[in-house]
Amino acid sequence: MVTRPEFTSATSDDGRVTALYHELFQRDPRSVEVQLASDFFKAHNFYDPNLNRGAKPTGKTGDKKDPNDMAMMMGNANDSIKNAGDAVDRRPLTLWEEYAQALLFTNEIAYVN
């Protein structure tokens, strides 16, 4: 969500919030929703509006492990997940990714197929 052009081209926090609402809900955020987003970011005293704009994952992947060794497969919680496909980076979510995830958990996003 936070790597899409609609989000990354936004020039302000309000613009990024609006981009997420357009992507998820196909509507503009209400003023109270923009305020709630602002409160969310202010609650994190480390928040810097110039950071977390959909940055690419960084960090190294873990060493190759024997897939037949269950203890080795479990590994350290900070290691990458090992499977038949590509390694998955287990870095913490950025603040914007956390916010987008919170929006995904709202009742408005739920639907019945």
Residue 62 domain boundaries: 58-93
29 CB-near residues (< 8 Å, 6+ apart): 17, 18, 21, 37
**Are 9 and 27 part of one and the same domain?**
yes
Q: How many domains does the chain have?
A: 2
**0.75 exceeded by the pTM?**
no
At residue 56, the pLDDT reads 41
**Are 39 and 71 part of one and the same domain?**
no
**Are 89 and 73 part of one and the same domain?**
yes
- Which pLDDT tens digits describe the chain residue by residue (113 residues)? 899 999 999 999 999 999 999 999 999 999 999 999 999 888 875 545 555 444 443 444 444 444 444 444 455 556 665 566 666 677 888 889 999 999 998 888 776 55
Enter the tokens of residue 112: 């019945």
- Which of left, alpha, beta for 35 (phi over 0: left; psi -120 to 50: alpha)? alpha
**Are 2 and 51 part of one and the same domain?**
yes
